[in-house]
């Protein structure tokens, strides 16, 4: 139900970011979604890729520090209140949302958002019960 997100520690230097993307490109890895969260001194680059295992191996080889985090890829109906409904469902189930960002794809007729929540398994269950569509890693791959 969840998808694997790779979170990479990056210093706030353009070179550092460029290096990560180059390592992934050299390893033939495609990005499904990408988001950078940063503070004054450092950042965490969050990635969903088509081949998490090989991406992790490549990053490790180059000495990068990263972690694998389970997140939800949620299909959000492109109608007014679509996101509101999903957030309400999470709230009603007492699940905290830490952050979200979107998956950029032209091949979709609805929006897809990545949700980082406290209890991803519970959150997934609560959402699917209410007919919210979750995408799996394979689904995301097909969007590239």
Q: Which residues bind other proteins (CB under 8 A)?
A: 5, 7, 9-11, 16, 37-39, 41-42, 44, 46, 63-67, 69, 98, 116
Question: Which one, 26 or 98, has the nearer CB to other proteins?
Answer: 98
Within 13 Å, how many C-alpha atoms sit on residue 57's CB side? 8
Q: How far is the CB of 23 from other proteins (least distance, A)?
A: 13
Q: How far is the CB of 47 from other proteins (least distance, A)?
A: 11
Q: How far is the CB of 35 from other proteins (least distance, A)?
A: 11
Question: What is the DSSP annotation of 70-125?
Answer: EEEEEEE-SSTTHHHHHHHHHHHTT--EEEEEEE--TT-SSEEEEEEESSHHHHHH
Question: Which one, 52 or 77, has the nearer CB to other proteins?
Answer: 52
Q: How far is the CB of 43 from other proteins (least distance, A)?
A: 8
Question: Which one, 92 or 118, has the nearer CB to other proteins?
Answer: 118
Question: Which one, 67 or 110, has the nearer CB to other proteins?
Answer: 67
d(CA 45, CA 32): 13
- 3-class SS shares of the chain: helix, strand, coil, % to 5: 35, 35, 30
Backbone phi, psi, residue 50, to 5°: -80, -20
Q: How far is the CB of 4 from other proteins (least distance, A)?
A: 12
Question: Which one, 53 or 84, has the nearer CB to other proteins?
Answer: 53
**CA nearest to 123, candidates 100, 76, 91, 79:** 91
């Amino acid at each position: 139900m969840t998808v694997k997100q790779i979170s990479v520690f990056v210093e706030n230097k353009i070179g550092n970011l460029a290096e990560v993307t180059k390592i992934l490109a050299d390893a033939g890895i495609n990005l499904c979604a990408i988001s950078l969260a940063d503070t004054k001194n450092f950042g965490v680059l969050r990635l969903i890729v088509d081949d998490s295992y090989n991406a992790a191996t490549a990053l490790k080889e180059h000495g990068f520090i990263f972690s694998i985090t389970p997140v939800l890829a949620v299909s959000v109906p492109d109608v007014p209140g679509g996101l509101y409904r999903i957030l309400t469902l999470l709230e009603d189930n007492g699940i905290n949302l830490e952050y979200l960002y979107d998956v950029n794809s032209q091949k979709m007729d609805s929006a897809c958002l990545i949700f980082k929540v406290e209890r991803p398994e519970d959150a997934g269950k609560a959402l699917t019960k209410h007919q919210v569509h979750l995408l799996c890693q394979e689904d995301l791959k097909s969007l590239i």
